[in-house]
Amino acid sequence: MTKNDLVEAVALKAPAWTKKNVEHAVNSIFDSLSLALKNNERIEIRGLGSFRVKDRKARVGRNPKTGDEVKIPERRVPVFTVGKELKARVDRLNPEV
């Protein structure tokens, strides 16, 4: 699903909203999530899961083509942990959820 697909799906469920308003709402949500992660905040959405930022240490890797060592700098990466309800829906353990 792309962001445009998400906008379309929400617009179908909210006929009172214009597609432009739905797109603005979706973009605002994504911007808020990005800003919170940038500020090292944890985000928890009940029924979906949680997002957090994880620090990865610098390390030495290898170029698979040449075998040469490559220094990989430390960095921060977003991590998503799936929630119990979403996991059950995907696994179809509890289709009513």
Which pTM does this prediction carry?
A: 0.76
As given in the structure block, the two tokens for residue 9 are 């799906």
Q: Could you report the per-residue pLDDT of 35-81, keeping only the tens digit for each? A: 999 999 999 999 999 999 999 999 999 999 999 999 999 999 999 99
Domain extents in the chain: 1-41, 43-97
CA distance to 5, 50, 62, 70, 77, per residue, from 59 (Å): 38, 27, 10, 9, 15
Higher pLDDT, 93 or 38: 38
CA distance from start to end of the chain: 21
At residue 96, does pLDDT exceed 70?
no
CATH architecture designation of domain 43-97: Irregular (4.10)
